[in-house]
Chains A and B, each alone.
Chain A
Amino acid sequence: MSVIETRCVGKCYGSTWAVRECTLAIPDGHVAALVGPNGAGKTTLLNLAVGLAAPTAGTVTVLGGKPAGSPAALDGIAFVAQDTPLYENLSVTDMLHLTRNLNRRFDQGYAEARLGELGIPFERKTGELSGGQQAQLALTLALARRPRLLVLDEPMAMLDPLARHDFMATVMAAVADDGVSVVLSSHVLAELERVADYLILLSRGRVQVAGEVDELLARHRVLTGPAAEASRYDERLNVVFTQSGGAQAHLLTRMNGSTDPVPPGWQAHPVGLEELTLAYLREPDASALPGPTRAGDTEPSEVTR
């Protein structure tokens, strides 16, 4: 089952395409990170998934084929929007009551226990809470709905490092306890490395990289060797990104098989998620897509430059 599946989705605002020909299937049971530069279409894609925006072209389904925004879809998805909008003049208690009234399920006990642990005062107006507390409240309200999919749009952008850590701890606890699937967009690559096990990299409204993190990391490596020889391997080695510092060059390469040979005089290193992501962000024309999301492609598509 895919928690979010898009087929040739396009969304345009006026004459600008925010997302274009976007085909994607995020399998369930993952913490999927949606990464991309500003204006890549991350927020638009998430808005499409939660039904806040309707696609200009193509279809978006969620939770195994439910149309995005349909009652069944809304019932199973909890969304925390960017900057965690809450009714500022309502107290925490009122926000709980409000959310309970607007949903079929609401785990009041969970919400109260969670907010109690965090030391968030129930009688205080949400507008008077700190940024970290507001984010935690929004997350708690979302999780108390017992969703099957939690969608978070830039949840950590406004938070200090400690609040980020606490926020992600709450998310990961829900993943462990309830098996909730998570899709989050973020700029904070270092945080993602710890939590994400699925990566979607968006660039200019298109999917550039999609796949399980372990698999992506296993299929990429960094080759370090003499800079003078670097250009020689460009064609043969599926080089995603070349970084030359003095005499040494670092090539991020994508392997066709696990037994790809290392050229003589070069050393291979495993790659980290942050390094991999940055390399693709710097090379928007390179792509690494898994087979199933592309019709007719059984093999992973070649890295192109």
Chain B
Amino acid sequence: MSALTMPTRSEPEANLRPVPWRNMAWVTWRQHRLTLAGVLALFGAAAMYLLISGLPMHHAYATVAACRPITSGICRQVAVNFLGNYAPGVGYVVGLLHVIPALIGAFAGAPVLAREFETGTFRYTWTQGFGRARWTIAKLTLLAVAVTAAAAAFSVLFTWYYQPLIGAGDDNGPLSPAIFDLRGIAVVAWTLAAFAIGVLAGTLIRRVIPAMFATIAVWAGLAFATGAYLRAHYLAPLLTTNPNVRSPAWVISQWWTRGGKPVTLDTINKTLGAVDVRAITLGVFQPGPATPANFGDPVRYLIAHGYLQLTRYQPTSRYWPFQGIESGWLFALSVLLLGTTVWLVSRRAT
């Protein structure tokens, strides 16, 4: 057939050993060290802030925690003062911290494969002896572990940071949407999910910038839907006529009935008109000039007049079950998304 002959290879073809997995450690590190440094910087900056502002807050909280007896009026006042000093500022920070998983997804997740496609380097990498499915599995696993570890460290710090506000009886209990997904395992699961969303978006869109925006959009939609609708139904909410259900329990809805039938704001206002109190919502009351000085709690007044306040809520004791449920489905989703990515990569390249 030809004059040239191939040199015979001593290696038997049958036991062709694959390139060791550990080789991908250097490859991943070298190619993503900037990204990993960025992730570290992002979490590091957040951690620095939490430490710097958290230490004085913990110092101030020592007074609240040391106050005895806890139920006394003076102790209540100390706690209220503490919350007045710290809760508003913390509220803004907490709002900002919510974007961290989205940033991880957009900056660490989306470019992993999108950049390979955009620059054409997948043609180089996926034709090396390592094999493209193994390359994808190794790279995604290493990056996912790194991102998860960073998020876990952040979670520990944030849980510590926020504890005084919960201890002092802040309006945001541990289950409240404002902080639930920033504490415990949930923040780790959300970060991993954002990373997985980014990776898959990058694989499907194949361009870095559009994939980043898609990642943020999908993550935001998912986070909003979960906080606003899904989480309240992980376990059937409890229903009570006890008017004293409030933070730290998570009150989902509250309404009034009379004679077993729900009543409207107008009906309540008719009753409250006698003491010149106006109900702005079913839970917020505005006394008028003619309100007697010794008029106590409008809720008690309404109950005394035959109304019943019903509250649907999730008790604080469900914090860990809820953490488990939320991180459970998020971890499952992440594995599904990353698995889909590996499948897509091994199935089609061009």
> Contact residues of A with B, CB < 8 Å?
1, 27-30, 44, 47, 50-54, 71-72, 74-75, 77-79, 81-83, 85-88, 90, 94, 97-99, 101-105, 138, 145, 148, 175, 178-179, 181
Residues from chain B with a CB closer than 8 A to the CB of A82 are 123
A–B Cβ pairs within 8 angstroms, 18 of them? A1-B6, A28-B1, A28-B2, A29-B5, A54-B348, A71-B16, A75-B16, A77-B127, A81-B120, A81-B124, A82-B123, A85-B119, A85-B121, A85-B124, A94-B30, A97-B26, A99-B128, A102-B135
Closest partner residue, chain A, to B1 (CB atom):
A27
Closest partner residue, chain B, to A81 (CB atom):
B123
Residues from chain A with a CB closer than 8 A to the CB of B6 are 1, 28-29, 148, 179, 181
How far in angstroms is the closest Cβ of chain B from A147? 9
B112-138 CB contact bits vs A (8 Å, 1 = yes)? 000000011111111111110001000
- Check B129 against A53 for contact (C-beta < 8 Å): no
- Check A104 against B129 for contact (C-beta < 8 Å): yes
Closest partner residue, chain B, to A3 (CB atom):
B6
- Check B4 against A71 for contact (C-beta < 8 Å): no
User: If A75-B16, A85-B124 touch, does A145 touch B129 (CB 8 Å cutoff)?
Assistant: yes
Interface residues of B in 15-45 (CB under 8 A from A): 16-19, 23-24, 26-27, 30-31
A52 to B128, CA, bound (A): 11
Residues from chain B with a CB closer than 8 A to the CB of A51 are 126-127, 349
Interface residues of B in 66-115 (CB under 8 A from A): none
- Check A88 against B30 for contact (C-beta < 8 Å): no
Is B221 in the interface zone, CB < 8 Å from A?
no
A88 to B18, CA, bound (A): 27
- Kindly state the interface size class of chain B when it binds its partner: 35 or more
A86-B121, A105-B129, A179-B5 given. 18 additional CB < 8 A pairs?
A29-B3, A44-B350, A52-B123, A71-B18, A74-B127, A74-B128, A74-B130, A74-B131, A75-B16, A85-B119, A97-B30, A101-B27, A102-B19, A102-B27, A102-B129, A104-B18, A148-B6, A148-B9
How far in angstroms is the closest Cβ of chain A from B24? 7
User: If A28-B6, A29-B4, A102-B19 touch, does A85 touch B123 (CB 8 Å cutoff)?
Assistant: yes
- Check A179 against B7 for contact (C-beta < 8 Å): yes
A105 to B19, CA, bound (A): 9
Residues from chain A with a CB closer than 8 A to the CB of B16 are 71-72, 75, 104
Residues from chain A with a CB closer than 8 A to the CB of B348 are 53-54
User: If A47-B350, A71-B18 touch, does A102 touch B3 (CB 8 Å cutoff)?
Assistant: no
How far in angstroms is the closest Cβ of chain B from A97? 7
Is B297 in the interface zone, CB < 8 Å from A?
no
User: If A72-B13, A97-B26, A97-B30 touch, does A52 touch B126 (CB 8 Å cutoff)?
Assistant: yes
Residues from chain A with a CB closer than 8 A to the CB of B24 are 101
- Check A103 against B127 for contact (C-beta < 8 Å): no
A27 to B4, CA, bound (A): 11
How far in angstroms is the closest Cβ of chain B from A84? 8
Is B261 in the interface zone, CB < 8 Å from A?
no
- Check B30 against A90 for contact (C-beta < 8 Å): yes
- Check A52 against B27 for contact (C-beta < 8 Å): no
Closest partner residue, chain A, to B27 (CB atom):
A101
Is B59 in the interface zone, CB < 8 Å from A?
no
B159-182 CB contact bits vs A (8 Å, 1 = yes)? 000000000000000000000000
Residue of A72, A75, A175 with most chain B CB atoms under a 10 A cut-off: A75
Residues from chain A with a CB closer than 8 A to the CB of B128 are 74, 99, 102-103, 145
Is B347 in the interface zone, CB < 8 Å from A?
yes
Residue of B26, B120, B123, B124 with most chain A CB atoms under a 10 A cut-off: B124
Residues from chain B with a CB closer than 8 A to the CB of A50 are 127
Residues from chain B with a CB closer than 8 A to the CB of A83 are 120
- Check A79 against B2 for contact (C-beta < 8 Å): no
- Check A79 against B30 for contact (C-beta < 8 Å): no
How far in angstroms is the closest Cβ of chain B from A293? 13
Closest partner residue, chain A, to B6 (CB atom):
A179
A98 to B5, CA, bound (A): 31
How far in angstroms is the closest Cβ of chain B from A200? 15
User: If A52-B350, A85-B121, A85-B123 touch, does A75 touch B7 (CB 8 Å cutoff)?
Assistant: no
How far in angstroms is the closest Cβ of chain A from B338? 21
